[in-house]
A and B are shown apart, each in its own frame.
Chain A
Amino acid sequence: MRITELFDNGEFVVTAEVGPPKGINVDHVVEEAKEYLSGITAVNVTDNQSSVMRMGSLPACIALKNAGLTPILQLTCRDRNRIALQSELLGAAMLGIDNILCLTGDHTKMGDHPGAKPVFDLDSVSLLHTVCQLEKGMDLSGNPLVGEAPKFAKGAVVSPCSDSVDAQLAKMERKVMAGAEYFQTQAVFDSEKFISFMEKAKQFGKPVQLGVIIPKSAGMAKFMNNNVAGVHVPQHMIDALAADKERAKAGITGVEIAAQIIKECRPYCQGVHIMALGWEAKVPELLKLAGI
């Protein structure tokens, strides 16, 4: 099932994401997803997230699909050139993966193989363009594909609370032009910023899913403020997390914060994307508290 069909039906689409393991056993990932994420629409599977080498997104997507979940294949341009990316897309379509999320990807220097060659032959925009070419039955060079063409729900990302929101909106417009059909955002902690971003982004007419992270501690919030692009946790949330460490540790404070953001932003977006970062078990509680 392509998640664009749900957006088209006006549904509020809930997705989450999981990261494949640094190893060959996916049982733990699949079990957690089955237990905590089976109630939601689809599950993103990250592609060597933060440039840290792990099992590929595609085989982990297949494992989730076999367990009855709907995976979204994340595809970055950091590790593969246009030949490998197109080849991967054809393989994904053959295996029945029809939801994708196209990203540029973090730089190789950010991860655990900082000496690796960064590829970036394509970027998120030209990758979306490439997917559209494949859907028309030809490759990026214009050579015809044999037989049926693939069809994907094509997603992309945008960072609404970035300090360069104009550059983000310009990039979003280019992604729409290149074929993006839905957007997932970087984690939002400032509803007002998100709402004002959505006022500008609604001109593109594409569904946007609010990005949500459940903050685990004041330390994590401060770390994100200092190190994660496009993420800013306001001081009053950091204070709330610091006020009662046990409550924060148990996830109660974080879930309350995340649920409040979802409630405030819900009228302005078409779905929510939860990046649980290991707290998959809190997702059902978060959705309940947010009234979804």
Chain B
Amino acid sequence: MLITELKSKDTILSLLTGKVFIINCHGCKEVWFPEEDANALQKELPNVTGILTTDYICNPEHLKLRLSKHEAAINEADMILVFSCGVGVQTVAGFFPEKKVCAACDTYALPGFQGVTPLEYDCKQCGECYLNLTGGICPLTACSKGLVNGQCGGAKNGKCEVDPNMECGWERIQRRLAQIGRLDALKCPVQVRNYATDAEVSKK
């Protein structure tokens, strides 16, 4: 089971730039989603071009179909704000390599079945989602060391020192941030992870 918890209203407001398209994932049965709180908050957000509320946005084929019905509203928006677990945010970001995609939730783990997720995106359920600092690519799962402050010196020809078949997560992040004009995200304050909320540590 997972819990998606809304980030604070101040944090969400600080993410907004221009017009916003909203995606809600009412998910799989394994995720608890704060539906009422999310709806109440979305009513207060300015410049919303449209809202897509659906389930299983982690399924790219399914998501593609849903997105196609909102093309105009998405094109009009400067960014997409996603209310889902970390996998959902990454799947959406994968569809829009040139648009700012932000996570409105943090994802926590609960014991039990973790749902079905695509292989290319994974959420570590760390409870302090980093996707807004990294262009929608998770540094915890895309980097073999789970680094949150940038690339180590171990990448060779774009590949990770641990696995020559694995692309360096931080090179992907760097490219994505350059693509969406958000390299300034790399100037954020020093990040120190809070393992008290991490799935590995908090799971009993």
Q: Please report A residues at the B interface, Cβ cutoff 8 Å.
A: 82, 104, 106-107, 109-110, 118, 120-126, 129, 140, 157-159, 162-164, 166-168, 170-171, 173-174, 177-178, 186, 227-230
| B178 contacts across to A, CB distance below 8 A | 166
In-complex Cβ contact of B145 among A104, A170, A177 (8 A):
A104
Interface centre among A109, A120, A124, A177 (most CB of B within 10 A): A120
In whole angstroms, how far apart are the Cα atoms of A181 and B191 in the complex? 19
Closest Cβ of chain A: how far from B149's Cβ, in Å? 4
In the A-B complex, the 5 residue pairs with the closest CB atoms: A125-B149, A171-B150, A167-B151, A129-B190, A229-B156
| A123 contacts across to B, CB distance below 8 A | 145, 147-149, 152
Does A166 lie within 8 Å of B161, measured CB to CB? no
In whole angstroms, how far apart are the Cα atoms of A155 and B147 in the complex? 19
Q: A107-B145, A159-B153, A170-B150 are in contact. Are A126 and B158 (CB under 8 A)?
A: no
Does A162 lie within 8 Å of B155, measured CB to CB? yes
Does A107 lie within 8 Å of B190, measured CB to CB? no
Interface locus among B7-15, B66-74, B168-176: B168-176
Q: How many A-B residue pairs have CB under 8 A?
A: 97
Closest Cβ of chain B: how far from A210's Cβ, in Å? 15
In whole angstroms, how far apart are the Cα atoms of A229 and B153 in the complex? 7
Told that A123-B148, A167-B155 touch, could you supply 18 new A-B pairs with CB distance under 8 A?
A106-B161, A107-B144, A120-B147, A121-B193, A122-B192, A126-B148, A126-B191, A158-B153, A163-B156, A163-B157, A167-B151, A167-B168, A167-B170, A171-B150, A173-B187, A227-B156, A229-B153, A230-B156
7 A-B pairs whose Cβ atoms sit less than 8 Å apart in the complex: A104-B153, A126-B192, A164-B155, A167-B151, A170-B186, A177-B190, A229-B155
Chain B, interface SS category = loop
Q: In the complex, which residue of chain B has the Cβ closest to the Cβ of A172?
A: B150
The contact string, 1 if C-beta is below 8 Å from chain A, for chain B 113-135, is 00000000000000000000000
Q: A126-B192, A167-B174 are in contact. Are A107 and B154 (CB under 8 A)?
A: yes
In whole angstroms, how far apart are the Cα atoms of A126 and B161 in the complex? 21
Q: In the complex, which residue of chain A has the Cβ closest to the Cβ of B189?
A: A177
| A170 contacts across to B, CB distance below 8 A | 150-151, 174, 183, 186
- Interface: B1 (CB within 8 A): no
Does B162 lie within 8 Å of A121, measured CB to CB? no
Does B147 lie within 8 Å of A106, measured CB to CB? no
Q: In the complex, which residue of chain A has the Cβ closest to the Cβ of B143?
A: A120
- Interface: B181 (CB within 8 A): no
In-complex Cβ contact of A157 among B145, B147, B148, B153 (8 A):
B153
| B95 contacts across to A, CB distance below 8 A | none
In whole angstroms, how far apart are the Cα atoms of A157 and B146 in the complex? 19
Does A129 lie within 8 Å of B158, measured CB to CB? no
| B192 contacts across to A, CB distance below 8 A | 82, 122, 126, 129, 140
- Interface: B195 (CB within 8 A): yes
Closest Cβ of chain A: how far from B29's Cβ, in Å? 33
In whole angstroms, how far apart are the Cα atoms of A173 and B189 in the complex? 11
Closest Cβ of chain A: how far from B184's Cβ, in Å? 11
| B157 contacts across to A, CB distance below 8 A | 163
| B153 contacts across to A, CB distance below 8 A | 104, 157-159, 162, 168, 186, 229-230
Does B144 lie within 8 Å of A168, measured CB to CB? no
Does A164 lie within 8 Å of B147, measured CB to CB? no
Does B193 lie within 8 Å of A174, measured CB to CB? no
Closest Cβ of chain B: how far from A235's Cβ, in Å? 17
Does B155 lie within 8 Å of A124, measured CB to CB? no
The contact string, 1 if C-beta is below 8 Å from chain A, for chain B 178-204, is 100001001100111101000000000
Closest Cβ of chain B: how far from A28's Cβ, in Å? 29
Does B174 lie within 8 Å of A120, measured CB to CB? no
| A167 contacts across to B, CB distance below 8 A | 150-151, 155, 168, 170-171, 174
